[in-house]
Amino acid sequence: MSARIDDGDDMDQAVNDLIARSNRLGADPRNTNYAGGNTSAKGVATDPASGQDVELVWVKGSGGDLGTLTPAGLAALRLDRVRGLEAVYPGIEREDEMVAAFDYCLHGKGGAAPSIDTAMHALVEQPHVDHLHPDAGIAIATAADGEALTRQIFGDGVVWVPWRRPGFQLGLDIREIQHAHPEAIGCILGGHGITAWGATSDECEERSLRIIRTAEAYISEHGKPEPLGAPLEGFGPLEPQARRARAAELAAQLRGLASTDRPMVGRFTDDEVVLDFLSRSEHPRLAALGSSCPDHFLRTKVKPMVLDLPADAPIDEVRARLVALHEAYRADYTAYYERHATADSPAIRGADPAIVLVPGIGMFSFGKDAQTARVAGEFAINAINAMRGAEALSRYQPISDEEKFRIEYWALEEAKLQRMPKPRSHAGRVALVTGAASGIGKAIATRLAADGACVVIADLDLEKARAAAAELGSTDVAIGVRCDVTRAEEVQAAVDATVLAFGGVDLVVNNAGLSLSRSLLETTEADWDLQHDVMSKGSFLVSRAAARALIDQGMGGDIVYISSKNAVFAGPNNIAYSATKADQAHQVRLLAAELGQHGVRVNGINPDGVVRGSGIFAGGWGASRAEVYGVKEEELGKYYAGRTLLGLEVLPEHVANAVAVLTGPDLSHTTGLHVPVDSGVAAAFLR
């Protein structure tokens, strides 16, 4: 059954209606999770190659997100060809072969790759179909007596479909159920989610929401008052400030543990759902059962790692226990893999947890980048909500570990992972850059983000820091924080914000600075103290706070000092600035010697003549230096370039390039180095 599309404008309207419906459904987390579920519409259009009518199905493509779906995220297929695949279907043991066959059913060029759920949308004989993963729907789908509950809650309007892995056979199953129950508006997919259909886009959306809201209302009205058990003494949430302080203490260690097999980015949340779950007596049993919905555990692993100590346990005891639990988790996951793997299974993808739950504190989630880590945490909350709903009405009973393994190590999932583009040079790394709301610091932050790093822009001006971060992208890419580098508590707060936002820290750039161009006799004690406080003391405070996290993390890392040509060159009327830059230069050597045993590289960059785009030069320094050299301020950059060997002006981007190279993979064995970025000032050659 398809809707008639008489011309191009009507076809565009059908796609627009599908996108609008998808965006509305995907915008509400009660309906489905990020990148979870799919929607479709069918219609009749004219095939430009033949001039004949052709039935099409537009379906959300593989990996897309309903809430942000655009027409480019749809796959358009010939409906007759997809349905014709039934004639060559080799049976459930070989149903994966049907995904490759979808490529031969595509209509036109462009669009997204068809997903594994394409068959469900094509075979269901209604013009519009939604497949969603609502928490309330999964609660019914994972209840031990889910089939009986479905009848009790929905009568004949919604039909129970026993668990089956997504694929061509599931599409056939739902079509048969639809034939047998013409009065049905949708179905509950055992262990998985819901599917609904309708004659119009509006009707399909209304039916999807009716199923979800009916399930929510039934759980609310008929569920047990404490489905997760009675409160556990000592496992309730700490006060907000205390729990975030404890989370910051643990974040770097946890990220290091979760990155044993490969580097991960982290995300912390103290969401009320998580805190309540961990405060209840049934949380150890339920956590051990793990997630059920495939979209959940593909990102969260089959179950989380859970600390089994009260919220106020001594920090040393917690640290030691986390190490022991991590070792046990890895052994358990490896056994799970070996128990279910076959000769054709992909290699184990790592045995570290993706979710770590800490009672009274919250949840740490991990992934290859910040978005993946955030989404993993969101899915873990979805799983908790589903557990609560199932326990309220019945008993939570997820699909078996064997079925979870078949999904997690599915050949199709492995092929999707293998198609991922090669990661950028700084992918998975977390950078903290001081003085980064403008000038050289902003250029460094921009370059590191472009190379794949998560960036924390620390600056004295919070609003400018946040604005600079927003220019780089969402909070999965960059955040802005206030930091006066002369104050130890603000420096520590900036490091804490970094590890809570992204799990840890890998790369620290000491860039914050200022300068006052004055002669010896004109330099006041206050001038001297200010410049030394910001650059000498500030760099020390930042490096010290970051080093604690780097050592706890155990993943190595980089500290970079933006020093100056003046660290080694003696020029006039510059005593305080040059002296503090020399201090920074020696800090590089001292810290390289001390932190090398922890795999932390410490290097410096000596720029010169960075006039255009420089915050320091814009703050009066440029006018002072121009006066010293007897040139106009607007000609200062040209003057500096003219005295160099290369005759080239140095820009903030050139300093950023040096940071990217120093902290990238190609100089992994370099520490204690100072790199001149000055176009060649012979008097400043390092000796």
Strand-pairing partners, residue 189, are 161, 193
Instruction: Report d(CA 58, CA 15) in Å as an integer.
Output: 8
Q: How far is CA 52 from the centre of its chain?
A: 46
HSE at residue 408, side-chain half, CA atoms within 13 A, is 28
DSSP summary character for residue 106: B
239: CB partners within 8 A, 6+ apart: none
CA distances from 466 to 162, 462, 482, 499 (A): 49, 6, 9, 17
635 contacts: CB under 8 Å, gap ≥ 6: 626
What separation in angstroms does the CA of 660 have from each of 128, 444, 448?
49, 8, 7
- What is the rounded distance in angstroms from the CA atom of residue 610 to the CA atom of residue 652? 6
Distance CA 440, CA 447 (A): 11
User: How many Cα neighbours within 13 Å face the side chain of 107?
Assistant: 25
Distance between CA atoms of residues 515 and 518, nearest Å: 9
SS3 state of residue 13: helix
DSSP codes, 570-616 = --SS-HHHHHHHHHHHHHHHHHHHHHGGGTEEEEEEEE----TT-HH
- Can you read off the two tokens belonging to residue 331? 């052994």
Q: Which residue has the tokens 């996951």?
A: 333
Supply 161's token pair.
Answer: 């479909």
Burial of 93 per CB tally in 10 Å (0-12, 13-18, 19+):
exposed
Reference 626, options 645, 611, 647; nearest CA is 611
Catalytic residue among 329, 396, 409, 577: 577
Strand, coil or helix: what is 58?
A: strand
Helices vs. strands in the chain: H and E counts, helices first: 26, 19
CA–CA distance, 11 with 5 (Å, rounded to integer): 6
Q: Exposure string (b/e) for 555-588, b if CB count within 10 Å is 16 or more? A: bebbbbbbbbbbbbbebebbbbbbbbbbbbbebb
Q: CB–CB of 82/102 below 8 Å? A: yes
CA 118 vs CA 62, 296, 371, 376: distances in Å: 9, 20, 26, 24
- Beta carbons of 661 and 446 less than 8 angstroms apart: no
Strand pairing of 454-459 and 355-358? Answer: unpaired
- Supply 52's token pair: 């004949």
Cα–chain center distance at 345 = 27
577 is catalytic: yes
Report the C-alpha gap between 363 and 503 in whole angstroms. 11
* CA neighbours closer than 13 Å in the CB half-sphere of residue 645: 10
- Residue pair 670/662 in contact (Cβ under 8 Å)? The answer is yes
* Residues identified as active-site: 577
